[in-house]
């Protein structure tokens, strides 16, 4: 029985690493928010039912809590990083507009005079691009990125000089 408890605990740790890796690659915390509460409840129920001992039961309960904590810390870091980089881009776009009398047609026009390169919002494999439209003849540019995949966006309104969230 001790061997089975160890294997279940090891499987729990492997699952924890996999969930953390997915959320880090995605740049969000959605999988952790969906999986960890159910995982914790399942771990607690199994510990009550199977009585594996305090050490194994504690590890089983601690792993989903730790995974969720890591995902939330990563999400906080990613959001602050994205906002800082977005503010740099907004400043560069405004300076470009002040100097040229119009908004840039794309973000690459800001390189290298206003920025050394166009940054990515987050350290993530997916949802790691800033989106920009110059506004064309209407003159209202659009600037946004995916904050919480798949639909949560942070958007900047240049005429009102403010950030907003779009779901």
The pLDDT value recorded for residue 130 is 94
Question: Could you say which DSSP state residue 123 is in?
Answer: S
* List of the chain residues with pLDDT < 70: 1-8, 136-139, 150, 167
The pLDDT value recorded for residue 55 is 81
Could you read off the pLDDT of 7-39 as tens digits, one per residue? 567 887 888 888 888 887 877 788 888 888 998
Do the beta carbons of residue 19 and residue 31 sit within 8 Å? yes
The pLDDT value recorded for residue 137 is 61
CA distances from 121 to 80, 82, 86, 99, 161 (A): 9, 4, 7, 25, 19
Alpha carbons within 13 angstroms on the beta-carbon side of residue 5 total 16
The pLDDT value recorded for residue 136 is 66
User: Measuring CA to CA, which residue among 90, 67, 65, 68 is closest to residue 145?
Assistant: 90
Do the beta carbons of residue 153 and residue 165 sit within 8 Å? yes
Write the DSSP assignment of 56-99 as a string of letters: HHHHHHHHHHHHHHHHHHHHHHHHHHHHHHHHHHHHHHHHHHHH
The pLDDT value recorded for residue 88 is 96
The pLDDT value recorded for residue 85 is 96
């Amino acid at each position: 029985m001790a061997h089975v408890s160890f294997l279940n605990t090891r499987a729990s740790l492997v699952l924890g690493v996999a969930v953390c890796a997915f959320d880090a690659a995605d740049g969000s915390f959605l999988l952790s928010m969906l999986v960890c509460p159910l995982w914790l409840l399942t771990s607690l129920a199994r510990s009550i039912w199977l009585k594996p001992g305090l050490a194994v039961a504690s590890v089983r309960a601690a792993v989903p809590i730790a995974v969720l904590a890591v995902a939330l810390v990563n999400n906080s870091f990613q959001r602050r990083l994205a906002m800082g980089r977005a503010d740099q881009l907004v400043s560069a776009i405004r300076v470009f507009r002040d100097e040229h009398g119009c908004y840039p047609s794309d973000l690459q026009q800001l390189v290298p005079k206003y920025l050394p390169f166009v940054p990515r919002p987050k350290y993530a494999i997916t949802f790691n691009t800033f989106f920009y439209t110059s506004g064309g003849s209407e003159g209202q540019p659009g600037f946004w990125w995916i904050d919480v995949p798949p639909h949560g966006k942070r958007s900047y309104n240049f005429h009102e000089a403010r950030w907003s969230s779009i779901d």
